[in-house]
Chains A and B, each alone.
Chain A
Amino acid sequence: MTVATTTNTLVGLLVRHADDNTILCQRLGEYVSGAPELEEDLAVANVALDHVGVAMHLYEYAAELDGGEASMDNYAMLRSEREFTNALLVEQPNVDFAHVVARGFFFDVYQTLLWAQLSASTDERLAGIAARAFKEATYHLRHSRAWMLRLGDGTAESHRRVQAAVDAVWRFTGELFVAVDADSELVAEGIGADVAALKPEFDRIVDATLEEATLVRPSDPYQATGGRSGMHTEHLGHLLAEMQWMQRTYPGATW
C-alpha cells in the first residue's frame, strides 16, 4: 500500500522533516566503514543513528495522525520519489569526505535552528521530539563545524577539496529556508516553524565559519528548489531503489 496524500498539514510537516532525516541517514549509512579513520567511522555511524531515530519518532507521530494503515515504514519504504518531500541537499551523494562534511555542516546549522524553534512548538509531542533532536543536532554541528575548519585551514589539498564541496552543495541550501505554503496556518498557531526567519542566523553562523575556515561563500546566487514538492534530483531515485528494495521485492512480509 502507499500512504494517501494527506490533507492534514501537520502530517505534511512531520513527514517532510522525517524525510530529511531518513535520506541523510541513508547517505551516511553508505559511508559507514568508509571514513578516513576508525574514530570517524564511529562518528558517522553516530550521526546516522541519531537521524534515523528522529525520523522514526516523526513518522510514528504522522502515522498516528494519518490513521488507517500507515506505519513509519510505509512512509519510508513504500512511497515514490515524487512523494518524498526531503530537501535536495540531503540526497546529494557522498563524493568524498569533504562533501560529507560540507553537506552535513549546512544541514546541521539548519537543523539546530529548526529544532530550537520547534522545541517551543505548541504541539507538545512535536516539541518533545524537537527538544531531543536539538541536543543531537548541536553535537552534529560541533563535529561538522570542527571539520570545516580543519579541512578549510588544513592543507592546500584539503582546502581545495572542501571549497569544491561547498561550491557543489551551496545551491541546495536556500531551499531549507523557503516556507511551504501549507505551513502558514501551522506557523500562525505556533505549531510549525517559520523557516524563512531562520535564514539570517544561518547566514551568520555559516559566514563566520567559512571565514574562520578561510573558505568563501560561492558567488553564484542560483538556488535550486523542488524537494519540498517532490521534484528531486536524479540521485534520489537510486537511493530509494536501494533503500526500498526489500519491501518492494517481498510485498507484505514482516521483518
Chain B
Amino acid sequence: MSYDVPIAPGETPDEISVEGPQSTAWPLWEVFMRPKRGLSHTHCGSLHAPDAESAILNARDAYTRLGDTASLWVVPSTHIHASSDPTSMFDPADDKPYRHPTFFEIPDEVGQL
C-alpha cells in the first residue's frame, strides 16, 4: 500500500520501544483552531516549537493554509491533563437517562418544549 513500506524478505521489522530516550528537541504544542467566529476552538493536531511565539506562527503555516481559520490557540502538550479510562469515567451517565430530553414523553399537542 502506498507510503507503507513492506518488510523485505529476509529483513525483520525494527523493534519499537515506546519508552525511548527523552526527547531533547523543541517541546510539543497542541494546536486548537476556531474555524470561524461563533464556533469553539477544536483540537487539530500538534507541532514542535521552541516558544509560544513560534508555536503560533508555525501553527498558522501548518494548519491554516486553506484559509479556514479565525483564531488559533497553542498549549504546551505537557499542560494538557486528560481524563482517565473512558469506560469508568463516563459510564455513570448511563444510569441517569432522565438527563436526556428524550426520556420524557410529551404529547404532540403540547407543542414545542
Contact = CB atoms under 8 A, between A and B. Distances in A.
Contacts of B57: 43, 139, 142-143, 146
Contacts of B26: 37
B34 interface: no
Contacts of A143: 57
A46 interface: yes
Interface string A139-172: 1001100100010000000000000000000000
A39 B62 contact: yes
B69 interface: no
B61 A39 contact: yes
Contacts, number: 27
Nearest to A146: B53
A42 interface: yes
Contacts of B54: 39, 146
A150 B50 contact: yes
A46 B50 contact: no
B48 A39 contact: yes
Contacts of B53: 146
A42 B61 contact: yes
Nearest to A142: B57
B64 to A, nearest CB: 10
B47 interface: yes
B28 to A, nearest CB: 11
Place the interface of chain A in its size category: 10 to 19
Contacts of A40: 58
Contacts of A46: 61
A37 B49 CA distance: 9
A230 B48 CA distance: 42
Interface of A: 37-40, 42-43, 45-46, 139, 142-143, 146, 150
A189 to B, nearest CB: 35
Nearest to A145: B53
Interface string B61-80: 11000000000000000000
Contact of A43 (B48, B50, B58): B58
| B47, B53, B57, B61 interface centre (most CB from chain A within 10 Å) | B61
A42 B62 contact: yes
Contacts of B61: 39, 42-43, 45-46
A46 B57 CA distance: 11
A46 B26 CA distance: 21
A245 to B, nearest CB: 29
Contacts of B62: 39, 42
Given A39-B48, A43-B57, 11 more contacts: A39-B47, A39-B58, A40-B58, A43-B58, A45-B61, A139-B57, A139-B60, A142-B57, A143-B57, A146-B54, A150-B50
A40 B55 CA distance: 11
27 contacts: A37-B26, A37-B48, A38-B48, A39-B47, A39-B48, A39-B49, A39-B54, A39-B58, A39-B61, A39-B62, A40-B58, A42-B58, A42-B61, A42-B62, A43-B57, A43-B58, A43-B61, A45-B61, A46-B61, A139-B57, A139-B60, A142-B57, A143-B57, A146-B53, A146-B54, A146-B57, A150-B50
Contacts of B49: 39
